[in-house]
Structure 1
Amino acid sequence: MEKQAKTYDVVIIGGGAAGLSAAQALGRARRSVLVVDAGEPRNAPADKMHNYLSRDGMNPLDLLAAGRAELAKYGVDIVADRATDSRRTDTGFAVSLARNPEVSARRIILAGGLKDRMPEIDGLAEHWGHDLLHCPYCHGWEVKDRRLGILDSAFSVHQALMFTQWSKDITLFKSRDRELGSEELEQLEARGVVVIEADIAAVRGAAGSIRGVQLSDGTEYPLDALVLMPRVEVDLSGVASLGLRASEHPTGVGQCVEVDAMGQSAVPGLWVAGSLADPKQQVIMAAASGLGVGAAVNADLTREETERDVAELRLQRAAL
C-alpha cells in the first residue's frame, strides 16, 4: 500500500524572513506548518542587514537561525529541501520535494524564489553584497564619504541623486547606448555628480575590497564601491503546475507576483509573502509581510472550517 503523504494546514515554500514570520504567526495560531527551506536566501551575500529596529548590523543568516530556533516551541516543522512542483488535490495541494516524500497542504504560502540578475561584467558577482550595492538605505551609511561609482541603468540617475546624501564623490558611468535628458544632466550637475560616457568592462580588486573599475577603453578609474540596479527575476518552479505567472513590477525593477491586499495570488489557496510580491522590500518589511500573510491564511482556514461546521450543525438539526 502506498504511504499517504503527511498533511499540514500550511506548507511554506521559502525559509527567509517572510516565510519564517508567516510560520510563526501560524504556529502561534496552533496550525500545523511545514517550512521548506532550500537555504538560498536572497540576501545571503550580505554581511549585515540594516534598518531592522533592534537588529541593525546583524548578519542576515544569524537572524534566520534565531527565527528557526524560535519556531521550535510552536511545533513548526522545517525541512532543508527544495519544492520541485505542486499540484491540486481534493483537499488542497500536494507539494513534491527534491529529497523527501511528497507532503499535502490545505494552503501554500510561497515566500522565496526571487533572484538578482546582474550585468555580465568581469569581476562583478564576487563583490555583490559587499562593495557592490544597490540600495542607499541598506548600505549608504557603510560607504559614506567614499568614492562611489554608479553603473548606468534606467535607475542610475535616481540612484546617483540619492547617494549624494551619503557622499559628495560620485561618478555616473553613462553607457554610450543611452542618452540623458537635459533636466537629468542639470540635476546631476547641481548635486555635484560627475558624468563619464564610458562602459564598464571589469571590476578590479579582491572580493569585498574593490579598488576601481576598468573602462572599455582600458583605463582604470579608482572607486571604493560601485552601485547598480540588478534585474529581479522570479523562480516559480516550486508551484509550476498550478499556473501561477510572474508579471513585470510597475517600477521596472523586474518580475514579481501579483497578489491582492491580503497576499492571495490568482491561484485560489496559494498565497505569496515577502519580496516576491514587492521586490523593493527590505528585511523588516518582508518579515511584516510574512506576518500579515500568515494571519490572513489562518483567517481563511478558519472561514473554511466554520462553513464546514455550520453545514454539519444544520444536518444534525435536520435529523432531529
Structure 2
Amino acid sequence: MTKMNNTLVDVVIVGGGAAGLNAAQMLGRSRRSVLVVDGGEPRNAPADAVHGFLSRDGISPAELYRIGRAEAESYGGRFLNGQVVGVTGSKGRFSVALEDGSMVRGRRLLIATGLVDELPDIPGLRERWGKDVLHCPYCHGWEVRDQAIGILATGPLAAHQALLFRQWSANVTLFLNDALQPTDVELHQLAARGITVVDGRVDSLRVERDRLTGVALIGGSVVAADAVVTAPRFMARTAAFAELGLKAVQHPTGMGEHLDTDDDGATGVPGVWAAGNVTDLRAQVLSSAAAGEWAGVGINSDLMAEELAEAVAAHKGSLTA
C-alpha cells in the first residue's frame, strides 16, 4: 500500500475497478503521476466470472483487477487502499480526504466509484445476488441456459425482460409481484413465447444446500426456479463529491441516478472527470474499461493544454525581459 505525504500528483483516481484501472494505465503511459484510491468494494465481487470481455471471458473479477493493477503499477501508477469521504478544492489542487483522516492531493480528479444495486426487499434475494439472482442476460444468460428462470417484476420493463431471457431458456416464469400489469399486447407476446405469468406478491426465495430451488408467494405456493432475474435500481456512488457541487441526477432511462458528463467523461466541475458505471449505468466491464481509457486521454490533453499555456507565457516573458 502506498504511503502519501503532501505531494501533489497529476491525477487522483477514486475507484480501482475497470474504469479506474484503465485510466491509470493510460495516464501512466502518458508519463503522468497517478494515485488510485480504492475502497476494495467492487460491484461485481459476488460474481464468479466476467463475461463479454474480449480475451478475458470467464476470468474472475478479483483476478482481472489484480492484473489491471499490476499493469498500471508497471507504468508508475500508485495505489492507496481506503474510503474517500470528501473532496474539496478546485482545478489544479483537489484535496481528497480519506476515512482514516489522511489526505491526498491532485491537479485533476477522476471519479470511477461505480454504483450500488438497490434490490427489492425480499428475504433471500440479496444473499443470492450475483450467483443465481441476476439482472443481465448478456452477463449471465449463458450460465443459466435451459434452466427454470423466474423474472421478478419491479417495474414496467419486466415483461420485456421475460421476453429477452426467453432467448436463453424455454422455461421462463414472470412473477408480477404487484409491480406490473402487462398490457394486452404484452400478454399476447408472453403467451406466444410460452412464458408463464404468475399473479400475486412474492414472499421469499427458497434455497436448499446453497442452491436456489424456488420462488415462494404470499399464501404459501412455491414455483420451482433455478435462477431469478430482477431489475435493481442503479445508484451512483457520489456522496463523497458533494462539496464540489457534484450531485447524481436521474438517468434518462429511469433506471436510477448517475453523474452527468459530456462524451469525453468531463463533468460540469472544471478538472473533474467521471467514467464507468458512476456515469453510465448500463456499462459492462469492457465498456467501463474503454470509458476509463478515454477519460485518461481527456485528462492528459487538459493537463497538456495547461502546461503549454504556461510554457508559452514563460517564453514570451523571457523575450521581453
Return the TM-score normalized by structure 1: 0.96
Q: What CA deviation, in whole Å up to 9, does each residue of 1:78-119 have, x standing for no partner?
A: 011111111015732111112262111110000014100101
Letter in 2 for 1:109: L
Q: Is the 8 A contact 1:131 1:208 kept in 2?
A: no
Instruction: Give the match for residue 222 of structure 1.
Output: 224
- Tell me, in whole angstroms, the C-alpha distance in 2 between the residues paired with 1:180 and 1:22: 43
Provide the secondary structure at the position in 2 that maps to 1:161.
Answer: helix
Instruction: Give the match for residue 311 of structure 2.
Output: 309
Instruction: Give the match for residue 202 of structure 1.
Output: 204
- After TM superposition, the structure 1 stretch with the greater mean CA deviation from structure 2, 274-283 or 83-92, is 83-92
Counterpart check, 1:91 vs 2:92: yes
5 Å-filtered alignment, 1:1-320, equals 5-89=6-90, 91-99=92-100, 101-152=102-153, 153-176=155-178, 178-206=180-208, 209-319=211-321
Q: What CA deviation, in whole Å up to 9, does each residue of 1:180-203 have, x standing for no partner?
A: 111111111111111111211101
- Tell me, in whole angstroms, the C-alpha distance in 2 between the residues paired with 1:225 and 1:236: 31
Q: What CA deviation, in whole Å up to 9, does each residue of 1:260-296 have, x standing for no partner?
A: 0110001111100101111111101110110010111
Letter in 1 for 2:296: G
Aligned positions, number: 317
Q: Is the 8 A contact 1:175 1:198 kept in 2?
A: yes
- Tell me, in whole angstroms, the C-alpha distance in 2 between the residues paired with 1:206 and 1:311: 71
- Tell me, in whole angstroms, the C-alpha distance in 2 between the residues paired with 1:4 and 1:16: 24
Q: Is the 8 A contact 1:233 1:255 kept in 2?
A: yes
Q: Is the 8 A contact 1:85 1:97 kept in 2?
A: yes
Q: Is the 8 A contact 1:130 1:208 kept in 2?
A: no
Deviation at 1:209, TM superposition (A): 1.4
Q: 1:207 to 1:6 in 2, by over 3 A?
A: farther
- After TM superposition, the structure 1 stretch with the greater mean CA deviation from structure 2, 108-117 or 237-246, is 237-246
Deviation at 1:234, TM superposition (A): 1.9
Deviation at 1:207, TM superposition (A): 7.8
Q: Is the 8 A contact 2:22 2:292 kept in 1?
A: yes
- Tell me, in whole angstroms, the C-alpha distance in 2 between the residues paired with 1:316 and 1:48: 58
Question: Which sections of structure 1, spanning at least 5 residues, go unmatched?
Answer: none
Deviation at 1:220, TM superposition (A): 1.1
- Tell me, in whole angstroms, the C-alpha distance in 1 between the residues paired with 2:58 and 2:299: 32
Deviation at 1:75, TM superposition (A): 1.1
Deviation at 1:219, TM superposition (A): 1.1
Return the TM-score normalized by structure 2: 0.95
Deviation at 1:127, TM superposition (A): 0.6
Q: 1:231 to 1:206 in 2, by over 3 A?
A: farther
Which 4+ runs in 1 deviate beyond 2 A? 89-92, 175-178
Q: Is the 8 A contact 1:18 1:290 kept in 2?
A: yes
Letter in 1 for 2:207: G
Q: Is the 8 A contact 1:10 1:32 kept in 2?
A: yes
- Tell me, in whole angstroms, the C-alpha distance in 2 between the residues paired with 1:197 and 1:227: 16
